[in-house]
């Protein structure tokens, strides 16, 4: 099969992934992209140049050996491909779905210059799904128990990564999770149609099979304190990966009316509590006929696409221009395909309620782009006299999060920055002895894979501090030669 | 899993469950709350800690059947287990010597006020309890409240037990008589009862703490569903409360927010009762 490619003179385009039709999927919560078939995966995999110095690996926060797993797919060894990925990433089916590959591994692909980067994310997803769906998951060999105990606070992306890394190195690992389900943002934040919950549970189950213990309904800072974990509970280290967690509100009048949600609440009701299946599940949700989501990030898109599926006429209200939306292009595209409408350069100034304090309209002003601000984006400036009311019966605030003080306030000796985030070095080490932290509670809101990458660093540092094993210094994009040239398939061999 | 050690109906529609939860029992303090889920499809509902036994490792909850979730809880028996039982959450009551404390308990609010009164009594306060309900069949834990009270006034709407009238009447009388000796008032019960207790004490200026039972999801500050307005500022009941200065609470907003899901709650309960009946 490889030879065929060598001879092929024409470079192939990226292999598209089949998706549910927008009209159909706007009425269900099933996953939107359907995944590659085996044939599609092989065809895409054999496009890979197998670069000697693979820049894609540097673009991956957990440094997956991308050429190696793609080679396995090209050769039809799908389960082997999944195992290759799992050497450095315990959550391939999750990452294959939610990573922003276009700005990470695929951005570094030599073919990206021609707009034909290898579809690394789709292949990752394919390999992981193949292994899981065919019951081919095998547990890797673990190191001998080293007698050290580590407590991981939070079972989101960073916590799961730390747990997965340390369990394989011989540690006894217990995750303390506040909710009744694992996964953190993967479970409560990202909707089913983007990341099926059965897949999250399956990837977590892989860690459980490796020996990771999960204590649900345990709120560190309340049910148990960090100092208790390090003291009487006998843990040698504590890793904090609790996420950012506290929703931001706009601070405009009327925000506490009924029918005004934080995106956190809206998505948690729908995703974790399965309110979209009400009344089969007991948790209700305000459905709304005309719904407005305030914000332009990925969470706003998730909220809007959820509202569409719950039958609402849905709008995004964003105070800047489309080009400035922080959401992934793919998410915006999917939202619009499903019927979400954009009200750009529109800034909410007040929520208007009815006689029973339920939201009924949003007062907005129109904006225009002015001089660039400190973020380098043109600052939106209000157009005078442009105030207008737009009728909505459900308003979802999706403008970000602040640091949740629940754990940090109850933990002495943990240095915080002025916004309440934990101060940690590049390896997640905090100011408190034997305590590491990573993910959103250190950096503020970021991506799943960034949290995983940071978790990886913490795991290595914990291993060095507790067992004296020096950290594996990872290659970084800066370390690559400037004149990096990869061999293209047709000239290879 | 969190096993129910004992379960009983205290008075019609009000239930008491003692639950095995050793970690929580070690930490729980008066005024804090917890979140309970009956089963995997259940809602996460907040309940104030009604009692704890550190040695036995148990937590006591008391709830009234209102919607599907509380009906589900009421059907569970000793030996059954809750799917989730999380806490303790929120801030504990500030226990210190205030001098004289008035504890106003309305209906099911008797349960959360009991451990507060007990702790305040232990701290040296003189406790005046005003315990109210619609009629004598709905008064529970009278003996428990009596055991921690220096003065214990029972009020019923119909006069079938104690005095006839609302809890606000003796509250006003005591404040008129001895208001300057009252260091703090605790008023816990249904929203109208807390609201009118706060309105009654406001002219006297005595600090009046109320415990809000806002609708919640996570209970840790993550969703903001439990927000309320206190002194014109947005507060989260879960992490800023659940106790607030009753004179500063926006009661109308709170009442409206409790009604957000009224239609769905009714639908849910009707479906449940139909299924149960079938």
Measured between beta carbons, the chain A residues lying within 8 angstroms of B217 are 265, 268-269, 273, 283
Pairwise CA distance, residues A248 & A359, whole Å? 18
Closest in B221, B229, B234 to A404, CB measured: B221
Pairwise CA distance, residues B134 & B190, whole Å? 12
Instruction: Answer whether A268 sits within 8 Å of B83, measured CB to CB.
Output: no
Pairwise CA distance, residues A153 & A182, whole Å? 12
Instruction: Answer whether A406 sits within 8 Å of B221, measured CB to CB.
Output: yes
Instruction: Answer whether B222 sits within 8 Å of A247, measured CB to CB.
Output: yes
Q: What is the DSSP letter of B91?
A: P
Size of interface A-B (CB pairs under 8 A): 118
Measured between beta carbons, the chain B residues lying within 8 angstroms of A258 are 256-257, 259-260
Closest in A268, A356, A406 to B223, CB measured: A268
pLDDT digits (tens, 9 = 90+) for A292-324: 999 999 999 999 999 999 999 999 999 999 999
Q: How high is the pLDDT of residue B101?
A: 97
Distances, alpha carbon A202 to alpha carbons A31, A173, A195, A199, A273, in Å: 16, 18, 12, 5, 18
H or E segment and range at residue B200: helix B191-201
Closest in B27, B83, B260 to A258, CB measured: B260
Give mean pLDDT, residues A131-150.
93
Closest in B27, B72, B220 to A404, CB measured: B220
Q: Which residue has the higher pLDDT, A12 or A72?
A: A72
Closest in B234, B253, B268 to A357, CB measured: B253
Residues of B with CB under 8 A from a CB of A: 23-24, 27, 37, 40-44, 68-69, 72, 83-89, 217-218, 220-225, 227-229, 234, 239, 252-253, 256-257, 259-261, 264-265, 267-268, 271
Closest CA to B38 of A8, A281, A97, A162: A281
Instruction: Answer whether A223 sits within 8 Å of B224, measured CB to CB.
Output: no
Q: How high is the pLDDT of residue A486?
A: 35
Question: Tokens 């929120």 label which residue?
Answer: B90
Q: How high is the pLDDT of residue B139?
A: 96
Residue A489 pLDDT exceeds 90:
no
**HEC per residue, chain A:** CHHHHHHCCCCCCCCCCCECCHHHHCCCCCCCECCCCHHHHHHHHCCCCCCCCCHHHHHCCCCCCHHHHHHHHHCCCHHHHHHHHHCCCCCHHHHHHHCCHHHCHHHHCHHHHHCCCCCHHHHHHHHHHHHHHCCCCCCCCCCCCCCCEEEEECCCHHHHHHHHHHHHCCCEEEEECCCCCCCCHHHHCCCCCCCCHHHHHHHHHHHHHHCCEEECCCCECCCECHHHHHCCCCCCEEEECCCCEEECCCCCCCCCCECEEEHHHHHHHHHHCCHHHCCCCCCCCCCCCEEEEECCCHHHHHHHHHHHHCCCEEEEECCCCHHHCCCCHHHHHHHHHCCCEEECCEEEEEEEECCCCEEEEEEEEEEEEEEECCCCCEEEEECCCCCEEEECCEEEECCCEEECHHHHHCCCCCCECCCCCECECCCCEECCCCEEECCHHHHCCCCHHHHHHHHHHHHHHHHHHHHCCCCCCCCCHHHCCCCCCCCCHHHCC
Greatest pairwise CA separation for chain B in angstroms = 59
Tell whether pTM > 0.95. no
State how far residue A448 is from chain B, nearest Cα, in angstroms.
Answer: 18
The CB-side HSE value for B240 (13 A sphere, CA atoms) comes to 17
pLDDT digits (tens, 9 = 90+) for B84-122: 999 999 999 999 999 999 999 999 999 999 999 999 999
Residue A374 pLDDT exceeds 90:
no
Residue A491 pLDDT exceeds 90:
no
Instruction: Answer whether B268 sits within 8 Å of A406, measured CB to CB.
Output: no
Give mean pLDDT, residues A230-259.
94
Task: Tell me if chain B has a CB within 8 Å of the CB of A53.
Answer: no
Work out the percent of chain B whose per-residue pLDDT is above 90: 97
Q: Which residue has the higher pLDDT, A109 or A488?
A: A109
Contact in structure between A14 and A114 (CB atoms under 8 Å): no
- DSSP lists the bridge partners of residue A237 as A150
Length of chain A: 493
H or E segment and range at residue B276: helix B262-277
Q: What SS3 state is found at B187?
A: strand
Q: Which stretches in chain B have pLDDT values below 50?
A: none
Instruction: Answer whether A256 sits within 8 Å of B229, measured CB to CB.
Output: yes
Measured between beta carbons, the chain B residues lying within 8 angstroms of A310 are none
Which are the contacts of A355, defined by CB distance < 8 A and separation ≥ 6?
A: none
Distances, alpha carbon A449 to alpha carbons A203, A269, B158, in Å: 15, 24, 64
Contact in structure between B133 and B2 (CB atoms under 8 Å): no
Residue B196, φ and ψ in degrees, nearest 5:
-75, -30
- Place A370 in a pLDDT band, splitting at 50, 70 and 90: confident
Q: How high is the pLDDT of residue A473?
A: 57
Measured between beta carbons, the chain A residues lying within 8 angstroms of B239 are 405-406
Task: Tell me if chain B has a CB within 8 Å of the CB of A252.
Answer: no
Q: Kindly identify which residue of chain A lies nearest to residue B89, measuring between CA atoms.
A: A222
Measured between beta carbons, the chain B residues lying within 8 angstroms of A180 are 37, 40, 83-84, 86
Neighbours of B203 (CB within 10 A): 11
Tokens encoding B199: 């309105």
Instruction: Answer whether B27 sits within 8 Å of A223, measured CB to CB.
Output: yes
Query: What is the DSSP code string of B201-239?
Result: HGGGT--EEEE-----SSSSSSS-TTEEEETTEEEEHHH
Establish whether the linkage from the previous residue to A279 is cis, with ω within 30° of 0: yes
Task: Tell me if chain B has a CB within 8 Å of the CB of A405.
Answer: yes
Give mean pLDDT, residues A158-175.
96
Instruction: Answer whether A274 sits within 8 Å of B41, measured CB to CB.
Output: yes
CA of residue A367 relative to chain centroid, distance: 31
Q: Indicate the range of A386-390, A398-402, A468-472, B51-55 predicted with least confidence.
A: A468-472
Distances, alpha carbon B166 to alpha carbons B100, B104, B189, B212, in Å: 21, 11, 13, 20
Q: At what angle do helices A120-133 and A197-210 cross, to 10 degrees?
A: 70
Instruction: Answer whether B86 sits within 8 Å of A178, measured CB to CB.
Output: yes
Give mean pLDDT, residues A359-366.
96
Q: How high is the pLDDT of residue A477?
A: 43
Contact in structure between A194 and A99 (CB atoms under 8 Å): no
CA dihedral of A179, A181, A182, A185, whole degrees rounded to 10: -70
Pairwise CA distance, residues B124 & B108, whole Å? 26
Q: How high is the pLDDT of residue A476?
A: 47
State how far residue B223 is from chain A, nearest Cα, in angstroms.
Answer: 4
The CB-side HSE value for B124 (13 A sphere, CA atoms) comes to 5
């Amino acid at each position: 099969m490889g030879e065929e490619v060598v001879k092929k003179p024409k470079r192939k385009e990226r292999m598209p992934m089949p998706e549910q039709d927008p009209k159909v999927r706007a009425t269900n919560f099933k996953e939107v992209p359907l995944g590659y078939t085996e044939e599609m995966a092989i065809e895409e995999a054999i496009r890979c140049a197998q670069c000697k110095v693979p820049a894609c690996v540097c673009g991956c926060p957990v440094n997956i050996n991308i050429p190696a797993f793609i080679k396995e797919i090209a050769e039809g060894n799908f389960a082997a491909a999944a195992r290759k990925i799992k050497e450095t990433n315990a959550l391939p089916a999750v990452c294959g779905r939610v990573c922003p590959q276009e700005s990470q591994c695929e951005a570094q692909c030599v073919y990206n210059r021609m707009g034909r980067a290898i579809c690394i994310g789709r292949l990752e997803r394919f390999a992981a799904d193949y292994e899981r769906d065919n019951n081919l998951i095998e547990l890797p060999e673990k190191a001998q128990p080293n007698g050290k105990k580590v407590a991981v606070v939070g079972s989101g992306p960073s916590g799961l990564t730390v747990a997965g890394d340390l369990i394989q190195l011989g540690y006894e690992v217990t995750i303390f999770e506040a909710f009744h389900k694992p996964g953190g943002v993967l479970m409560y934040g990202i909707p089913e149609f983007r990341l099926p919950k059965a897949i999250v549970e399956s990837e977590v189950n892989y860690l459980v099979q490796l020996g990771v213990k999960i204590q649900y309904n345990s709120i560190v800072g309340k049910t148990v304190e960090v100092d208790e974990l390090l003291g009487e509970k006998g843990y040698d280290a504590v890793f904090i990966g609790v996420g950012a967690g506290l929703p931001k509100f706009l601070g405009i009048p009327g925000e506490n009316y009924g029918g005004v949600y934080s995106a956190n609440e809206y998505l948690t009701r729908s995703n974790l509590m399965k309110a979209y299946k009400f009344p089969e599940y007991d948790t209700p949700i305000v459905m709304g006929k005309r719904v407005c989501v305030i914000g332009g990030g990925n969470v706003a898109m998730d909220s809007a696409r959820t509202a569409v599926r719950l039958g609402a006429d849905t709008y995004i209200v964003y105070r800047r221009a489309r080009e400035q939306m922080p959401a992934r292009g793919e998410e915006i595209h999917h939202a619009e395909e499903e019927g979400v409408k954009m009200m750009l350069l529109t800034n909410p100034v007040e929520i208007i309620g009815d006689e029973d304090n339920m939201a009924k309209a949003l007062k907005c002003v129109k904006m225009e782009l002015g001089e660039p601000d400190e973020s380098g984006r043109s600052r939106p400036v209000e157009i005078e006299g442009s105030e207008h009311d737009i009728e909505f019966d459900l308003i979802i605030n999706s403008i970000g999060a602040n640091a949740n003080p629940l754990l940090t306030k109850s933990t002495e000796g943990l240095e915080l920055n002025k916004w309440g985030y934990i101060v940690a070095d590049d390896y997640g080490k905090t100011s408190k002895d034997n305590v590491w932290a990573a993910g959103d509670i250190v950096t503020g809101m970021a991506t799943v894979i960034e949290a995983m990458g940071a978790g990886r660093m913490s795991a290595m540092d914990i291993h060095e501090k507790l067992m004296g094993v020096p950290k594996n210094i990872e290659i970084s994009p800066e370390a690559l030669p400037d004149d990096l040239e990869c061999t293209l398939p047709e000239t290879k061999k | 899993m969190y096993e129910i050690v004992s379960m009983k109906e205290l008075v019609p529609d009000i239930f008491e469950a003692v639950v095995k939860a050793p970690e929580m029992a070690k930490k729980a303090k008066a005024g804090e709350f917890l979140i309970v889920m009956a089963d995997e499809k259940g809602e996460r509902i907040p309940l104030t800690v009604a009692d704890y036994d550190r040695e036995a490792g148990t937590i006591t909850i008391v709830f009234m059947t209102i919607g599907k979730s509380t009906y589900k809880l009421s059907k569970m028996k000793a030996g059954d287990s809750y799917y989730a039982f999380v806490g303790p959450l929120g801030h504990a009551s500030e226990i210190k010597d205030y001098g004289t404390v008035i504890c106003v308990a309305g209906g099911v609010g008797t349960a959360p006020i009991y451990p507060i009164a007990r702790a305040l009594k232990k701290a040296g306060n003189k406790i005046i309890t005003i315990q109210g309900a619609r009629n004598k069949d709905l008064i529970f834990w009278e003996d428990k409240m009596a055991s921690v009270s220096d003065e214990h006034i029972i009020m019923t709407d119909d006069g079938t037990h104690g005095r006839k009238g609302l809890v606000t009447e003796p509250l006003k009388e005591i404040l008129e008589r001895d208001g300057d000796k009252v260091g703090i008032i605790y008023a816990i019960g249904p929203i109208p009862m807390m609201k009118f207790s706060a309105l009654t004490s406001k002219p006297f200026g005595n600090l009046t703490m109320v415990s809000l039972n806002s609708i919640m999801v996570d209970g840790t500050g993550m969703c903001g569903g439990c927000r309320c307005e206190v002194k014109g500022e947005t507060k989260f009941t879960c992490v800023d409360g659940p106790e607030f200065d009753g004179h500063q609470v926006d009661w109308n907003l709170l009442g409206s927010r409790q009604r957000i899901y009224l239609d769905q709650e009714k639908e849910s309960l009707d479906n449940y009762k139909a299924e149960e009946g079938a």
